[in-house]
Amino acid sequence: MHSFLIKGGVPLQGEVEISGAKNAVLPILAATLLTREKCVIRGVPNLSDVVFMGRILTSLGAKVRFRGDVMTVEADRVKGHGDYELVRKMRGSICILGPLLARLREAEVSFPGGCVIGSRPIDLHLKAMRALGARLMVEEGYVRAKARRLVGTEMFLGGKAGPTVLGTANAMMAATLAEGVTVIESAACEPEVTDLADFLTAMGARIQGAGGPTITITGVKELHGAEHEVIPDRIEAATFAIAAAATRGHVTLRNARPTHLSAVLDKLEAIGVNVQRNADGLTVSRSGALATTDVTTQPHPGYPTDAQAQMTVLMTQAEGVSIVTERIFESRFMHVSELLRLGADITIEGPTAVVKGKTRLSGAPIMASDLRASAALVIAGLIARGETLVKRIYHLDRGYERLDHKLRKLGAHVQRLRK
């Protein structure tokens, strides 16, 4: 099992290229199942989740080739069920449900896995498929869906924590080949949803309103192959921006899109971090003290839950008390116990973390619990005195492309231990 050995205290300096977005590319790859023709996806990050999705597509009968940052998929003949052991390991695999049901009128998908960050039910996915006319059975760890035909309808996809991103993606993909018009109310507004809609439109779909709370899809008889460039990963960009601020560094994020990071950049500027928006990205730097702030995670365009753990680490370096409230996932403070091992002063009160700074962190062995917690612990290691050993960093490889390599290019002392 791989670990990161980090020697802290070095400001990050230089330029880093932001990779394609994991949360955009997974549903886009699933959408290639909607056509028999070849699809070419560019800007694909080499992540374990992406590799898993490629294997899932292969198990369904598609021909998949992954070279450099280009993935080619040709799903001429596909079947309605994939490899159970592959599908169950990754949360994003649920997004094959909509495309399979739309194309084959049947699908069998195992309940997906993923990070342990709280309850993430798929009830809204199932609600969307039923609304379009599918008959569903949930048994033996599988979702089995059949439909003689899919018919457009109006559906509401708001949940207790807000709209569902993958649920919106699933509904949108299924509706592209349904008869008539489908209207999704309380649709997710994330940039990844818009990116999927752009790809589907390039395939011949008729979609309006993506990026807003109401999406309208007019079904077509068939879709064709297309080429598409995946948007840059806003969460990777947020992670590097926060790391630059935490280490008193000066980092240019090439390919980052500031418009996708408004809530994060607003918080950074409010606490004393310098943010310069460039034509091809942005530059983040800090030289002075950090002010405290309150952060509450919300659906887009609010502060993203996927950047909450990283901001919590940064707040340990602020002068005073900061409040971080998690409104999306109830178990997303699992990184806090490990930060306490480094010397952080954080108290959990229900959905809120009370962070007292400024704290001098000291290196120690710590254990990653999920993808974004892993990134937060790496940032903590970068600012801690001495050496920090971050164990179980396989989580990082799910969502950050060659993170150790990119950090070393910025001057960090990070070594991957392969044990």
Q: What is the DSSP letter of 354?
A: E
* Range 70-86 burial, b when 16+ CB lie within 10 A, else e: ebbbbbeebebbbebeb
Inter-residue contact 352 to 323 (CB < 8 Å)? yes
* Range 280-317 burial, b when 16+ CB lie within 10 A, else e: ebbbbbbeeebebbebebbbbebbbbbbbbbbbbbbbb
Q: Can you tell me the distance from the alpha carbon of 328 to that of 351, in angstroms, rounded to the nearest whole number?
A: 9
Q: What is the DSSP letter of 88?
A: T
Which own/partner pairs from 362-367 qualify as long-range (CB within 8 Å, at least 24 positions apart)?
362/386, 363/6, 363/7, 363/8, 363/387, 363/388, 363/389, 364/388, 364/389, 365/341, 365/389, 365/391, 366/338, 366/339, 366/341, 366/342, 366/390, 366/391, 367/338, 367/391, 367/392
Please tell me which residue in 39, 95, 115, 189 is annotated as part of the active site. 115
Q: Can you tell me the distance from the alpha carbon of 380 to that of 274, in angstroms, rounded to the nearest whole number?
A: 20
SS3 403: helix
The answer to whether 39 is a known catalytic residue is no
Inter-residue contact 40 to 16 (CB < 8 Å)? no
Active-site annotation, residues: 115
